[in-house]
Amino acid sequence: MLMAILAQNMEIMSTEIERIHTLIVGSGPAGYTAAIYAARADMKPVIYTGMEPGGQLTTTTEVDNFPGYPEGIDGPTMMVQLQQQAERFGTDVRIGMVTEVELSKEVGGWHKATIDGSKVVETQAVIIATGASAKYLGIPSEQKLRGGGVSACAVCDGFFYKGQEVAIVGGGDTAAEEASYLSKICSKVTMLVRKEEMRASKAMQHRVESIPNIEVLYNTEVDEVLGDSVVEGLRMKNNKTGATSEIAITGLFIAIGHKPNTDIFKGQLEMDEVGYIKTVGKSTKTNIPGVFACGDAQDKEYRQAITAAGTGCMAALDAERYLAELE
């Protein structure tokens, strides 16, 4: 009997639907900025933080390029402060992962989101701020030294290698742009391209090849990142000849692309071929009424904390106007 009542209660709990005013998915700079604006506009935002509360910045050490912090700030502290700022105005921050969505195509329709596979929330306004994840090579020595000299963001971390020798992996526009950025800070940049040629635009290739302190090694891959707790060197492998060689470096930048965290919206929202959500003109509106996208989930071009925060603000304003028009 007791078991039957328990089972019935569990059933009620798992099918309970909560109606909320504004749902924000993701807790990086875009999500929290959207929350600050939404909460101040009395939109009663609920944030689901996702798997990595605080987003990509929680994996960075020092953030030196976010305006307003003259001495710099470490990434995790900045994200805690953004959370506190959002909570000060009444944002409901919840640890949880949106695992499924059912978006309504109707203007004023209720969008459903399933949390952690069980609880369901309904809302007329969804702000997607799920971010993107940098791709890594996945080899053990690289994973071990993430945060110890292995980074996926030259603009964030390049400054820490001032006057030092570094390497960068990748042959796309990001790798070329970051190699050029690093060449102004570091004494030497070795660029490892796994094919015979770069994928980057011809203009970027010419730029990289014309910079004297960048050495481009084609058909070259990382065999092992050397060092116990910090990067001390790199063993490289020529994938044509099989020959290996070593260089001494203090920083290794991985620039082999990003993957937007948008899989749960596939088939419902318009995206490009990689999965970046398409937004209308300069706005954060998606192809579905009441669904707005901000931050790295819709931006493959700039991908900075400050630009993510800017689009988070825009998403809250777009959502506010949308909800106001429904009334």
Residues contributing to the site for ligand NDP (CB under 6 A): 137, 169-175, 177, 194-195, 199, 221, 256-257, 300
Structure tokens at 33: 């900025």
Write down the least CB distance from residue 277 to ligand NDP, Å.
Answer: 15
Taking the least distance from each CB to ligand NDP, the nearer of 220 and 284 is 220
Told to judge if 156 belongs to the known catalytic residues of this protein, a careful annotator would answer yes
Taking the least distance from each CB to ligand NDP, the nearer of 299 and 318 is 299
Q: Which of 64, 74, 156, 272 is catalytic?
A: 156
Q: Which of 153, 186, 296, 318 is catalytic?
A: 153
Greatest alpha-carbon span in the chain: 79
Q: How far apart are CA 232 and CA 228, in angstroms?
A: 8
> How many DSSP H helices and E strands does the chain contain?
8, 21
Told to judge if 313 belongs to the known catalytic residues of this protein, a careful annotator would answer no
Per the CB < 8 A criterion, the answer to whether 95 and 53 are in contact is: yes
Tell me which amino acid residue 173 is: D
Write down the least CB distance from residue 171 to ligand NDP, Å.
Answer: 3
The conformational region for residue 190 under phi > 0 = left, psi -120 to 50 = alpha, else beta, is beta
Told to judge if 153 belongs to the known catalytic residues of this protein, a careful annotator would answer yes
Taking the least distance from each CB to ligand NDP, the nearer of 49 and 174 is 174
**CA dihedral of 47, 81, 44, 266, whole degrees rounded to 10:** -30
Write down the least CB distance from residue 204 to ligand NDP, Å.
Answer: 7
Q: Which residues contact 25 (CB under 8 A, 6 or more apart)?
A: 31, 47, 48, 50, 98, 113, 126, 127, 128, 129, 130
Taking the least distance from each CB to ligand NDP, the nearer of 97 and 256 is 256
Taking the least distance from each CB to ligand NDP, the nearer of 124 and 130 is 130
Write down the least CB distance from residue 281 to ligand NDP, Å.
Answer: 20
Write down the least CB distance from residue 83 to ligand NDP, Å.
Answer: 29
Q: Which residues contact 286 (CB under 8 A, 6 or more apart)?
A: 128, 269, 270, 277, 278, 279, 280, 292, 293
Question: Which residue in the block uniquely carries the two structure tokens 């030092």?
Answer: 164
Residue whose CB is nearest to ligand NDP in the complex, by number: 172
Q: Which residues are catalytic?
A: 153, 156-157
